[in-house]
């Protein structure tokens, strides 16, 4: 049903009842804009593919670490001239005591990397397995494999493809006897 037909039917039904014409016209305008936006807007998907960190450093890119869905990967921006970091990571490095970006330096991460996924920057959450990000973002794993082959990297290690089991904390229930319960007995 077209927008104009819909609003003419609503207007016919409301004719005998009180309504504010200005409000009605405003609703009609907004509805038309929303409908036009949905019909005309094409959803643009990014061609960027997220890859986990497992020991590879891209040459010519910033040496800062980005959080990237708790994967803590290398920053994808280009380095500044005469600097190891991009503009944003450099600004972060000036604000920290270690003179490194908030999440650290990718070269340090490479030295400490192992297949136990224990990277945890100070004051931030722990690294998550890549499979959790794939599930969350609904990424096609075949596209990721193709991208890895283009880069000439080895396959993603098993540690990134195994889900972590989270233990639920059991809370003990506590019951209290109210004074009003004693009076009724």
Q: Rounded CA gap, 39 and 33, in Å?
A: 10
Query: pLDDT in tens for each of the 185 residues of the chain?
Result: 566 676 666 666 666 555 566 666 667 676 665 555 444 444 444 457 788 888 888 888 999 999 888 888 899 899 988 888 999 999 999 998 889 999 989 998 888 877 777 777 888 888 888 888 888 888 888 888 888 888 888 888 777 777 766 666 677 777 776 666 555 55
Same domain, yes or no: 28 and 70: no
pLDDT at 48: 72
Q: What SS3 class is residue 178? A: coil
Q: Is residue 50 a part of any domain in this protein?
A: no
Give yes or no: residues 69 and 154 share one domain: yes
Continuous segment of H or E residues that includes residue 65? strand 65-66
Do 96 and 15 belong to one domain? no
Answer yes or no: is 176 within a domain. Answer: no
Give the chain's domain count.
Answer: 2
Residue 81 structural domain: 65-160
Regarding whether 81 and 22 lie in a shared domain, the answer is no
Residues 81, 154, single domain; the answer is: yes
User: Is 72 domain-assigned?
Assistant: yes
State the pLDDT at residue 64: 92
Residue 8 lies in a domain: yes
Distance (Å, whole) CA 105 – CA 151: 21
| 128 domain-assigned | yes
Q: Strand runs (DSSP E) across 129-175, as ranges?
A: none
Question: Based on the domain organization, do 70 and 156 belong to the same domain?
Answer: yes
Task: Look at residue 106 and tell me if it is in a domain.
Answer: yes
End-to-end CA distance of the chain: 67
Say if 7 falls within a structural domain. yes
Chain centroid to CA 143: how far?
Answer: 19
Cβ count near 78 (within 10 Å): 11
Rounded CA-CA distance 90/82 in Å is: 11
Residue spans of beta strands (DSSP E) within 39-98: 65-66, 73-74
Question: Are 72 and 152 found together in one domain?
Answer: yes
Show Cβ contacts of residue 3 under 8 Å, excluding neighbours closer than 6 positions.
28, 31, 32, 35
Domain contains 113: yes
What token pair was written down for 178? 């109210």
Task: Measure Cα distances from 11 to 19, 30, 36 in Å.
Answer: 10, 16, 21
* Token reading at 173: 């229930």
């Amino acid at each position: 049903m077209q927008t104009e037909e819909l609003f003419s039917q609503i207007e016919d039904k409301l004719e005998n009842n009180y309504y504010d014409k200005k409000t009605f016209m405003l609703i009609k305008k907004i509805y038309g804009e929303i409908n036009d936006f949905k019909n005309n807007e094409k959803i643009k998907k990014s061609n960027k593919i997220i890859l986990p960190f497992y020991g590879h450093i891209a040459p010519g890119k910033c040496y800062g670490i980005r959080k990237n869905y708790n994967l803590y990967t290398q920053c994808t921006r280009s380095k500044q001239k005469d600097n190891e970091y991009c503009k944003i990571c450099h600004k972060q490095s000036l604000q920290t005591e270690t003179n490194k970006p908030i999440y650290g330096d990718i070269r340090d991460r490479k030295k400490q990397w192992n297949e136990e996924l224990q990277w945890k920057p100070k004051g931030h959450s722990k690294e998550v397995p890549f499979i959790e990000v794939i599930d969350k973002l609904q990424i096609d794993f075949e596209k990721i494999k193709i991208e890895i082959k283009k880069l000439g990297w080895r396959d993603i290690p098993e540690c990134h493809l195994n889900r972590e089991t989270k233990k639920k904390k059991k809370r003990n229930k506590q019951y209290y006897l109210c004074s009003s319960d004693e009076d009724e007995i």
